[in-house]
Amino acid sequence: MKDARKRQAVKSDYVEALGLAAYCFASCEWQVAWCSEKIKPGSLNKIVGEEMTAGKIAKYFIDLTRSMPKSREREELCQAAQVFVRLVQERNRILHGKPCTGPNGESRLSSATVIEIPDLEDAADSFAACGNELNRLYYGFLTSYVPQ
- For 109, half-sphere exposure in the C-beta direction (CA atoms, 13 angstrom radius) is 19
For the residues of 67-109, what is the DSSP string, one character each?
A: TSPP-HHHHHHHHHHHHHHHHHHHHHHHHTPEEEE-TTSSEEE
User: Residue 143: phi, psi to the nearest 5?
Assistant: -65, -30
pLDDT (tens digit, 9 = 90+) per residue, 124-139?
A: 999 999 999 999 999 9
Q: What angle do CA 48, 51, 56 make, to 5 degrees?
A: 105
- pLDDT for position 9: 84
Choice among 3-12, 20-29, 53-62, 65-74 with the minimum mean pLDDT: 3-12
Mean pLDDT rounded to a whole number for the chain: 96
Q: How far apart are CA 74 and CA 64, in angstroms?
A: 10
Sheet with 107-110: strands ordered across:
98-101, 107-110, 114-115
User: Residue 98: phi, psi to the nearest 5?
Assistant: -100, 135
Per DSSP bridges, beta strands 114-115 and 107-110 are antiparallel
Q: What is the mean pLDDT of residues 62-68?
A: 97
Contacts of 111 (CB under 8 A, 6+ apart): 93, 94, 96, 97, 98
pTM metric for this prediction: 0.94
Reply yes or no on whether the pLDDT at 5 is more than 90.
Answer: no
